[in-house]
Amino acid sequence: MVINENSSILITGGTGSFGKKFVESILSQFPKIKRLVIYSRDELKQYEMAQLYSGQSYPGIRYFIGDIRDSQRLMLAFEGIDIVIHAAALKQVPTAEYNPMECIKTNVLGAENVIQSALNTQVRKVIALSTDKAAAPINLYGATKLCSDKLFIAANNIKGSRDLSFSVVRYGNVMGSRGSVIPFFLKKRHEGTLPITDPHMTRFNISLEEGVEMVLWSIKNAKGGEILVPRIPSYRITDVAKAIGPSCKHSIVGTRPGEKIHEELITTSDSISTVKMGNYYAILPTNVHYTIKDYCKLTGAIPVSPGFCYNSGDNEEFLSVLEIQSLIRKHVDPEFTV
């Protein structure tokens, strides 16, 4: 499916970091797009976003107040929509550990509501955003996103004759997003000490722009049933600290509940059904109408080696201190200096 001026798109969690960047990208290419619905539950964020993207300047834009827990409201919002980007979630690991059922209601039951709403309307493609924490999860947030991923993949089995597909995009930490380590360190560096959870900790890194680019690529190329994973670099938490506060002392505070030293995007168990294609990997489902051989023939993908694992600690590419500084200036704070 290709996005054009006649497309109708809805994004859940549309006022979040990803949602705002996605809307910016779509409207820069298609300012007169037929319909672009920002669906979220925060009226203040919608008001603030509407100051940037008003209905007067962009006649196709709509702001829908609603929660993905509300199936009736969600189904109403899906009427006349072609493409759904599902970005709404409760994402903070400590918050999920302390409020487990709230996280389950949004991330799991909300995902099922998205699926049922798509099945009961004329939606043709659903792309759901996931996280590296869904691979071999050890915290509740990751477990709920793994459940969500499984629901979206399995939804392809019950679509019947509908012209509809569900796929998942899974990637790592978004540089500069709310609650992430870089903005946290930027605030703390003036105190002279940066708290380090564990000096061995690593994370995958992706910019908002790269995340949006991947979702746009997935809308065009996903066949349905895949978990799509980008090939992205890692960083060491100590290198981030050096990049932001080179003269700061480090205070080792220990990992938080449910926090890994290294994150995974693809586990060893997934390697038997994983293929590589250009800048992306695809974890393929085992119970759909196509085989791995069919998928590779269709897309030009190549199966990965048995036992392959995509881990932030064993990644082939790591960002240097200078590269981290350059990316902060590009994606987080243009006036950043050390």
On whether the CB atoms of residues 228 and 214 are closer than 8 A, the answer is yes
* Structure tokens that stand for 112 in this block: 């099922």
Q: 25 Cβ partners below 8 Å, 6+ apart? A: 209, 212, 216
* Structure tokens that stand for 61 in this block: 């834009």
* Structure tokens that stand for 94 in this block: 């400590």
How far is Cα of residue 136 from the mean position of the Cα atoms in its chain?
17
In the residue annotation, 32 being an active-site residue is answered as no
List of E strands, 13-147: 35-40, 61-65, 83-86, 125-131
* Structure tokens that stand for 116 in this block: 């049922």
How far apart (Å, rounded) are the C-alpha atoms in residues 320 and 312? Answer: 14
Catalytic pick among 133, 188, 242, 260: 133
Q: What is the DSSP string of 285-308?
A: -SSSSS-HHHHHHHH--EEPPTT-
b/e per residue, 68-78, with b = 16+ CB within 10 A? beebebbbebb
* Structure tokens that stand for 194 in this block: 């940066």
On whether the CB atoms of residues 131 and 170 are closer than 8 A, the answer is yes
Main-chain phi, psi angles of 154, to 5 degrees: -65, -25
DSSP 8-state code for residue 133: G
Query: Between vectors from CA 304 to CA 299 and to CA 306, what angle results, nearest 5°?
Result: 145
Q: 27 Cβ partners below 8 Å, 6+ apart? A: 33, 36, 53, 58, 61
Residues assigned a catalytic role: 133
